[in-house]
Amino acid sequence: MPAAAPGWDRHDGTAEELTIARKPQPEGGQAPVVQRVRIRYAKRGPLRFTSHRDFARAFERALRRAGVPIAFSQGFTPHPKISYASAAPTGVASEAEYLEIGLREPVDPAQLRAALDAALSPGLDVLDAVEATGGSLADRIEASRWRIELPEVDPAVLERAVSAFTAAEEIQVERMTKQGRRTFDARAAVMAIDALPPSETPSGATAVPCAILELVVRQVTPSVRPDDVLSGLRVVADLEPPVSPRVIRLAQGTLTAQGEIVDPLDADRDGAAIGER
């Protein structure tokens, strides 16, 4: 079966041209995991409204369509070996979503990336794939960088709200969770918060003013989401966006002492943290 050509661009071929499995599951049991691959993907445009459950279904279909030799769990109802890390909320676009899959036979990560990208709908885009060298993917995700576009909000008003947010030691907000309504501090998890200059051009720019907020938020329990930060801005500065904001996750990964976020796949690319699979 031919391998995907280097530099192959998405959706230029059929799914059949990009299948990569070479042998079926063994009879009488599940094949062991011989390789783990970590994947970065994006949710863009209307596909940002895809729920995590819907994405999981679409991804499993893409694995079958691309012929990926996915390994399965043992037991009466085997499940594909897929682990998700810190999925973005429904309605939020993202350039940095991560998952890990276990395979029953080794594959070339670049070929796997191309095959999965072709099998998924445009807007669910597979950006990178690397072989896992050890350690936990979840342990490498300490913080996220977010961009929030606020149409019809004056940038000067946002700057004043950000100043009030930064000056506060604690900002209590409420959110409905599966455990009921909870109150928690939205300030402590925010490592950086900035109102970008008005010269910045938002995605899907229009003629109306658009304030732009960027923030770095640490992973904590309970998690602090972008909408919680907006609730905090309402608490400290009465900031009420007149229309729904557009939220984009730009990055997530390890947080450095300088406040930068390192892609969690970099350690695998560099051969760091090598251990048993």
Which pLDDT does position 274 carry in this prediction? 34
Which pLDDT does position 254 carry in this prediction? 94
- Greatest alpha-carbon pair distance for the chain in Å reads 67
Architecture (CATH level 2) of domain 35-139: 2-Layer Sandwich (3.30)
Which pLDDT does position 136 carry in this prediction? 92
Query: What would the pLDDT profile of 149-183 be if each residue is shown by its tens digit?
Result: 999 999 999 999 999 999 999 999 998 877 788 89
Domain range summary for the chain, segments of one domain joined by +: 35-139, 141-262
- Rounded to whole angstroms, the Cα distance separating 116 from 60 reads 10
Query: Minimal CA–CA distance to 111: which of 22, 26, 198, 239?
Result: 22
- What six digits make up the tokens of 89? 């909320």
User: How close are the terminal C-alpha atoms of the chain, in Å?
Assistant: 28
- Rounded to whole angstroms, the Cα distance separating 197 from 214 reads 11
Q: What pTM was computed for the model? A: 0.83
User: Between 3.30.70, 1.10.20, 3.40.50, 3.10.50, what CATH number should domain 141-262 receive?
Assistant: 3.30.70
Cis peptide before 78 (omega within 30 of 0): no
Query: What would the pLDDT profile of 212-244 be if each residue is shown by its tens digit?
Result: 999 999 998 888 999 999 999 999 999 999 999
Within this chain, domains 35-139 and 141-262 share the same CATH topology: yes
- Rounded to whole angstroms, the Cα distance separating 123 from 143 reads 24
The beta-strand segments (E) located in the chain are 35-43, 82-85, 93-103, 124-131, 143-151, 172-177, 180-185, 190-195, 210-218, 246-255, 261-262
